[in-house]
């Protein structure tokens, strides 16, 4: 799949606001719209507010770099063989810088005690509020749904194209090999591998709509089937070796 095709399709996904029952020309299904941006205020519920806000922030050129940095701080890296706990303070600082409006509910969802007043009832977040759950929401945040098999096939076709764009970058082969190893060592649910995959996608300055949507494609593929995404990366690396 060519880079131009991937970016064209990615931009098309950003621009539509339709259900999966509708199709692009040629019978290509459109993904379901899960969340609309900007996130509505007030939201229907606290957890829905968090997921909607995160999904929209990832598509915002100003907020997205902060979301990526927060994901970095919420992953558990290894330093000289020693496990290091996530840095919740730095993660919250990035989230607050990226989206001050929703900083309070982000903090509540992370299980932080000292957060600014939210203005909405966050009690429903209390039982499941912790950094692990929040990290999962952040890593898998998406405004689109790919529920059917045909939509999943479309999603991973797009993901393959995005990974191909990464592979074609100057350091892409080396970066993908490292990501392949992270998936191999930690499984398809590896947040560390996903972070590096997102971080290595070539980013224009400032980030444009195609770049932001490419990140959403990878996050959604990770949410739908992390093992399949890991296999896709491995296949690209293996193909590059030939």
3-state secondary structure labels for all residues of the chain = CCHHHHHHHHHHHHHCCCCCCCEECCCEECCEECCCCCCCCCCCCHHHHHHHHHHHHHCCCCCHHHHHHHHHHHCCCEECCEECCCCHHHHHHHHHHHCHHHHHHHHHHHCCCCCCCCCCCCHHHHCCCCHHHHHHHHHHCCCEECCCHHHHHHHHHHHHHHHHHHHCCCCHHHHHHHHHHHHHHHCCCCHHHHHHHHHHCCCCCCCCHHHHHHHHHHHHHHHHHHHHHHHHHHHHHHHHHC
Within a domain: residue 190? Answer: yes
Domain count along the chain: 2
Encode pLDDT of 112-161 as tens digits.
876 666 766 666 665 556 888 899 999 999 999 998 898 999 999 999 99
pLDDT digits (tens, 9 = 90+) for 31-40: 888 888 887 7
Q: pTM of the predicted model, to two decimals?
A: 0.83
Q: Point out the residues of the chain with pLDDT beneath 70.
A: 1-28, 41-44, 77-84, 114-117, 119-129, 240-242
**Domain range for 69:** 46-140
Does any domain span residue 41? no
- Within this chain, do residues 135 and 156 fall inside the same structural domain, yes or no? no
Same domain, 156 and 233: yes
């Amino acid at each position: 799949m060519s880079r131009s095709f991937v970016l064209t399709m990615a931009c098309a996904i950003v621009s539509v606001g339709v259900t999966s029952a509708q199709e692009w020309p040629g019978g290509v299904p459109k993904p379901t719209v899960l969340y609309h941006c900007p996130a509505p205020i007030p939201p229907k519920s606290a957890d829905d507010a968090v997921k909607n806000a995160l999904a929209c922030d990832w598509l915002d050129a100003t907020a997205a770099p902060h979301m990526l940095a927060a994901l970095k701080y919420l992953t558990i890296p290894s330093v000289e063989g020693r496990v290091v706990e996530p840095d919740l303070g730095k993660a919250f600082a990035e989230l607050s810088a990226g989206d001050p409006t929703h900083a309070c509910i982000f903090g509540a969802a992370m299980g932080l005690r000292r957060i600014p007043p939210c203005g909405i009832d966050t009690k429903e977040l209390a039982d499941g509020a912790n950094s692990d759950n929040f990290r999962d929401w952040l890593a898998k945040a998406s405004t689109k749904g790919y529920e059917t098999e045909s939509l999943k096939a479309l999603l991973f076709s797009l993901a393959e194209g995005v990974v191909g764009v990464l592979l074609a970058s100057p350091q892409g082969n080396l970066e993908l090999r490292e990501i392949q190893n992270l998936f191999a060592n930690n499984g398809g649910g590896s947040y560390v591998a996903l972070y590096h995959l997102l971080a290595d996608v070539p980013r224009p300055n400032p980030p444009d709509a195609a770049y932001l949507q490419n990140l959403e494609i990878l996050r959604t593929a990770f949410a739908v089937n992390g093992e399949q995404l890991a296999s896709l990366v491995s296949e690209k690396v293996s193909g590059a070796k030939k």
